[in-house]
Amino acid sequence: MTQELVMGIATEAIRITLIISLPILGIGLMVGIVISVIQSATQIQEMTLTFIPKICAVFVGLLLFLPWIMNQLISYTITLYNNIPRYIQ
């Protein structure tokens, strides 16, 4: 197993991790921005007001994106397992 091969596997794992986490983090960011704008407009500066909507939005996002996330993880794992003979040469 060469250093380039290990770096390629690690790069692909990091890429998949970023692709999978992007929609959920984006949902949390958008909800946070909307809540911040509402707080600024109404001048309600309660710090705990942002947590519940963000948690609910991320949970709903996970429910919506879970099939796609699982598909990405399964395809990466299958590719990794199928390339094992090439890795041990």
Taking 80 as the threshold, does the pLDDT of residue 89 lie above it? no
pLDDT value for 87: 83
State the residue range of the domain holding 73. 3-87
pLDDT value for 46: 78
pTM of the shown model? 0.79
The helix (H) or strand (E) run that includes residue 70 is helix 51-82
Count of structural domains within the chain:
1
Q: How far apart are CA 61 and CA 21, in angstroms?
A: 11
pLDDT value for 7: 93
> What separation, in Å, do the N-terminal and C-terminal C-alpha atoms of the chain show?
7
